[in-house]
A and B are shown apart, each in its own frame.
Chain A
């Protein structure tokens, strides 16, 4: 789970984290007791649909602004270690 979330847990952190998560999971698993047959899920509490936007251009950020907060920059782009396969 930590790997999926790109979180690295140090050795000391794993045990208490696992314990805490376990406890929380026990509580939330209680919803398993409910009879929810035929109940539709709510993904959006707002009942509207649509809210599409017209295909009209808006000004982009100047490059210096886009790069201003970057931890590492090279050749006008964001520099990162290369992905291996």
Chain B
């Protein structure tokens, strides 16, 4: 009897291909686990906002976007491996709510290109995962559908905004999951849940069908048990989509990693992101990983990212600004919630948005509108754009001296529910190691590198644009050497 739970996505796909495992069997196995969690009525982790009935729920028709759809459910290189998909990906006929009340029950008439790319390659949809509302948050506590819990400690957050996806993979409720990363929303929950999360180079994966948060920063990416699975998923997601003008043709194929050593790899450690503000236990695990890396042949040296300390400020101007505009479409006219008994148009707009949006979303919308408003544009939005240029320059300069940059993914391990909800800035600080890479548009991966007080610590590796293959190889080698075992969370 195959230990289904023990199989990674790649292993499951191989088993199905060989005939050792049936696609239906695999689907039902995960569907049951997801269902049980969803039905647990407060007793579960609350990873899912929707669970599939059967394989036929997987949206397949090629929509306006990616043209590799129209396949047979389960056929293709991803041969029937069930996938958890973050709520904000439009999935035709299936609720896509982006964690918000204002889109409760919304069933889009089309499917996101990133999803079609994966289902077209054979993946099946097991469920939509919970998230911070409109991807705004670092703990999944901002979801209108209740917080998701961390499988390592149910009194703690799984991170966010892709907390549902991360917890589902960590708890073995889905073999792998799709998430999005704007300022760290894949990497940080991956770190807090002890799994792998990758944010690709901006533009590598089509954003068509991703309910937008911040357009110049949002990117879809994998949350998986190991680096090989991340590579496998990414391989089938990258590429130019004619429905997304900002998507580009990836210059080469994504390879499945095989490296076991790091000889000749120069790793850069930016002092701005590896000192003050990082929790002691996290720093210890980080340093231990660096030592391992050196044992594998890597050269470790300091680099400077002088504008990194300002990245968070720039991010919290740019992202809310774009969000304030992206969320203007939620007005109750064409879809989603509309406040009943509105007395006039203005009343309809304001009450719909008041009732439909949570407080973090409102906060960011107002922040964003302010940053763009006349008289303030130059001081805020304009400046933040310039800081962005400087940060990209900092990385380019650093990558002239090193191959990859390494930092802790999150300054802390998973914190308690409610611990940071009172002070927005303390919540925003969770992103300070991940945000610089988002602003520069470069790829970054988080792999689990150890435990601190029994909770997972994540190691972030970042590389220049389009360096995913090298990134995945280095992560693979380190992963092997670190030997992190996440199975206890899957019990």
Interface residues in chain A, defined as those with a beta carbon under 8 Å from any beta carbon in chain B? 1-2, 4-10, 13, 17, 20-21, 23-25, 27-32, 34, 36, 39-46, 48, 51, 53, 58, 61, 65-66, 68-72, 78, 80-84
Supplied contacts A27-B428, A40-B386, 4 more A-B pairs, CB within 8 Å: A8-B351, A43-B385, A44-B216, A61-B109
Judge whether B369 is part of the interface by a CB distance below 8 angstroms: yes
B366 A80 Cβ-Cβ under 8 A: no
Question: With A7-B366, A17-B359, A20-B363 as given contacts, are A32 and B383 in contact (CB-CB < 8 Å)?
Answer: yes
B425 A24 Cβ-Cβ under 8 A: yes
Size of B's binding interface in residues, CB under 8 A: 69
Query: How many cross-chain pairs have Cβ atoms below 8 Å apart between A and B?
Result: 162
Sample (16) of A-B pairs whose CB atoms are under 8 Å apart: A1-B373, A5-B369, A24-B428, A27-B312, A28-B380, A31-B384, A36-B386, A42-B389, A44-B246, A51-B245, A61-B109, A71-B333, A71-B337, A71-B338, A81-B348, A84-B345
**Residues of A with C-beta under 8 A to B337:** 71
Q: Shortest distance in angstroms between A14's beta carbon and chain B's nearest beta carbon? A: 11
Question: With A31-B314, A31-B387 as given contacts, are A8 and B354 in contact (CB-CB < 8 Å)?
Answer: yes
Q: Shortest distance in angstroms between B295's beta carbon and chain A's nearest beta carbon? A: 35
Q: Which of B336, B354, B423 has the most CB of A within 10 A?
A: B354
Q: Which B residue's beta carbon lies closest to that of A84? A: B344
A6 B389 Cβ-Cβ under 8 A: no
Closest 6 CB pairs of A and B: A41-B385, A45-B441, A8-B350, A71-B338, A69-B335, A51-B245
Q: Shortest distance in angstroms between A22's beta carbon and chain B's nearest beta carbon? A: 11
Q: Shortest distance in angstroms between B216's beta carbon and chain A's nearest beta carbon? A: 6
Q: Shortest distance in angstroms between A24's beta carbon and chain B's nearest beta carbon? A: 6
State in angstroms the CA–CA spacing of A83 and B342 once bound together: 12
Q: Shortest distance in angstroms between B390's beta carbon and chain A's nearest beta carbon? A: 6
Q: Shortest distance in angstroms between B64's beta carbon and chain A's nearest beta carbon? A: 7
CB-CB contacts of B340-369 with A at 8 A, as 1s and 0s? Answer: 001111111111011001010011011101
